[in-house]
């Protein structure tokens, strides 16, 4: 169960209505709860619900399925399947979801026990030739889950049934965040700001990277987050040039900077923020020059954003801005060589997944949230700078959701000076 206040069931009902409306009557749509994953022996990895399953049901339990049978002319059928209550399991894991709880949370009238899924599915596909399911195609080598096993079973038993990807349909909806979703990201960012302010107050030479991580996670859990949105990156000195450094076990040295890329998940939504601080509270002249160049790119790019742009266009625009600013600062001898010192994309969609769904050629629509995170990496000089903000596209333009999280050199230095 999430600690955060739940969304009203109409949020999920509306999402299902929009999903069904994007289908012809002859489709069968099947979604599954996330599986539990074994960590070692009988221990499991912390479990988190599948993002689209949450988006359409609000149910935060494993072992559930959702079947939707769109009907253009009549009523669309929606059936939620939940594990039947087992008093023996309840002794170990606490109260299980009842059919009434599930109905209340999701707004789905028809709730059945999981044992009846296959029978219901077989009956419902009689007049429907196409089954839509969601698979995480980011990782072709992902471990096989219940979803894959069920699909294998279905395609053996119903060889005529065509299986298609549901992802483009759910991504279309998730691309535009609703006010409830934006509100949770705002809360997450508020908590992240709190955590980073505490880090600025406590940071000093000799501290370990993991102690900074502990400070951050403390603030997330203490303020109602369910968990981190992703493993925090706390990277001092040259470690900051390793993009997904999560080891966090080095000492933070006097004269180095530390890069922190982090998010706390509030009600399934996490902000994604990167800030860089001087370990001893003062940037050196060289660090200052590097930091300011990245900040200039961050601000120039945000200024250039407008609704209707696509990532495809924006990645090109970013290349031009980065090339020009880094060339002027002398980091590269040709503006076209910006990838030599800035080797990742300038941002991504943000939502239920921190690297959220959506195609790169879609125009930014009101409700789309993205990150803007230019970087500059000079590992030979022990310098890695990335400054990441979260931006919401609105009807009028954009809103910088993370505007309260300090990023100007003077702000950072004076906050750090005030602490010591
Ligand atoms: Mn990011």
pLDDT by residue (tens digit) across 45-93? 999 999 999 999 999 999 999 999 998 888 899 999 999 999 998 998 8
Distance of CA 287 to the CA centre of its chain: 30
What is the CA(78)–ligand 1 centre distance, in A? 35
Q: Are 85 and 138 in contact (CB under 8 A)?
A: no
Task: For residues 228 and 217, give the distance between their C-alpha atoms in angstroms, rounded to a whole number.
Answer: 7
Give the chain's count of helices (H) and strands (E): 12, 19
pLDDT by residue (tens digit) across 177-215? 999 999 999 999 999 999 999 999 999 999 999 999 999
Backbone angles phi, psi at 65, to 5 degrees: -140, 155
Torsion angle of the four alpha carbons 34, 165, 364, 227, in this order, in degrees rounded to the nearest 10: 10
What is the CA(347)–ligand 1 centre distance, in A? 6
Q: Specify the pLDDT at position 145.
A: 81
The closest alpha carbon to 274, from 262, 289, 257, belongs to 262
- CATH fold for domain 9-174: Creatine Amidinohydrolase; Chain A, domain 1 (3.40.350)
Q: Is the dihedral of CA 115, 14, 35, 218 positive or negative?
A: negative
What is the CA(62)–ligand 1 centre distance, in A? 28
What is the CA(75)–ligand 1 centre distance, in A? 41
What is the CA(86)–ligand 1 centre distance, in A? 41
Tell me the residues surrounding ligand 1 (ion) with CB < 5 Å: 272, 371
Task: Summarize the confidence of residues 331-346 as an average pLDDT.
Answer: 95
Q: Are 275 and 328 in contact (CB under 8 A)?
A: no
With 80 as the cut, is the pLDDT of residue 1 above it?
Answer: no
What is the CA(8)–ligand 1 centre distance, in A? 29
What is the CA(243)–ligand 1 centre distance, in A? 10
Q: CA-based Rg of the chain, rounded to a whole angstrom?
A: 24
Where in the chain is CATH 3.40.350.10? 9-174
Q: Specify the pLDDT at position 375.
A: 98
pLDDT by residue (tens digit) across 120-150? 998 987 888 899 998 877 677 777 888 888 8
Q: Specify the pLDDT at position 238.
A: 94
The pTM of the full predicted model, rounded to 2 decimals, is: 0.95
With 70 as the cut, is the pLDDT of residue 420 above it?
Answer: no
Q: Are 38 and 44 in contact (CB under 8 A)?
A: yes
What is the CA(388)–ligand 1 centre distance, in A? 7
- CATH fold for domain 179-419: Creatine Amidinohydrolase (3.90.230)
What is the CA(30)–ligand 1 centre distance, in A? 30
What is the CA(255)–ligand 1 centre distance, in A? 26
What is the CA(386)–ligand 1 centre distance, in A? 10
Q: Give the containing element (helix H, strand E) for 264.
A: strand 264-266
What is the CA(303)–ligand 1 centre distance, in A? 19
What is the CA(348)–ligand 1 centre distance, in A? 7
The token duo for 126 is 């009689």
What is the CA(198)–ligand 1 centre distance, in A? 21
The closest alpha carbon to 373, from 275, 226, 282, 306, belongs to 275
What is the CA(336)–ligand 1 centre distance, in A? 24
């Amino acid at each position: 169960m999430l600690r955060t206040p739940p969304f009203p069931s109409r949020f999920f009902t509306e999402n299902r209505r929009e999903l069904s409306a994007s289908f012809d009557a002859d489709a069968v749509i099947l979604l599954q709860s996330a599986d539990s994953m074994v960590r070692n022996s009988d221990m499991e990895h912390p479990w988190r619900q599948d993002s689209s399953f949450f988006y359409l049901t609000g149910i935060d339990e494993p072992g559930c399925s959702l079947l939707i049978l769109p009907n253009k002319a009549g009523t669309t059928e929606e059936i939620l399947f939940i594990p039947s209550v087992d008093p023996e399991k309840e002794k170990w894991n606490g109260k299980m979801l009842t059919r009434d709880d599930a109905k209340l949370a999701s707004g789905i009238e028809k709730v059945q026990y999981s044992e009846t899924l296959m029978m219901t599915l077989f009956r419902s596909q009689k007049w429907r030739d196409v089954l839509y399911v969601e698979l995480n195609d980011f990782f072709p080598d992902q471990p096989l889950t219940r979803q894959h096993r069920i699909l294998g079973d279905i395609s053996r038993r119903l060889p005529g049934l065509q299986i298609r990807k549901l992802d483009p349909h759910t991504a279309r909806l998730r691309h535009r965040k609703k006010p409830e979703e934006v509100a949770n990201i705002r809360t997450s960012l508020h908590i992240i700001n709190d955590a980073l302010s505490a880090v600025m107050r406590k940071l000093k030479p000799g501290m370990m990277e993991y102690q900074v991580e502990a400070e951050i996670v403390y603030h997330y859990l203490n303020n109602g987050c369910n968990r981190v949105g992703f493993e925090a990156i706390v990277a001092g000195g040259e470690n900051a040039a390793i993009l997904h450094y999560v080891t966090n076990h080095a000492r933070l040295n006097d004269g180095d900077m530390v890069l922190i890329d982090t998010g706390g998940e509030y009600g399934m939504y996490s902000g994604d923020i990167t800030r860089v601080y001087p370990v001893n509270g003062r940037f050196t002249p060289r660090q200052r020059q590097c930091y300011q160049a990245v900040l200039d790119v961050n601000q120039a790019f945000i200024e250039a954003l407008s609704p209707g742009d696509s990532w495809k266009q924006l990645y090109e625009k970013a290349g031009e801005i980065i090339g020009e600013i880094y060339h002027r600062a002398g980091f590269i001898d040709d503006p076209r060589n910006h990838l030599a010192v800035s080797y990742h994309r300038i941002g991504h969609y943000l939502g239920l997944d921190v690297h959220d769904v959506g195609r790169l050629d879609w125009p930014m629509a009101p409700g789309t949230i993205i990150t803007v995170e230019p970087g500059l990496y000079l590992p030979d000089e022990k310098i890695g700078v990335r400054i990441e903000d979260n931006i919401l596209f609105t009807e009028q333009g954009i809103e910088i959701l993370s505007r309260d999280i300090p990023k100007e050199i003077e702000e950072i230095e004076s906050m750090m000076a005030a602490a010591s």
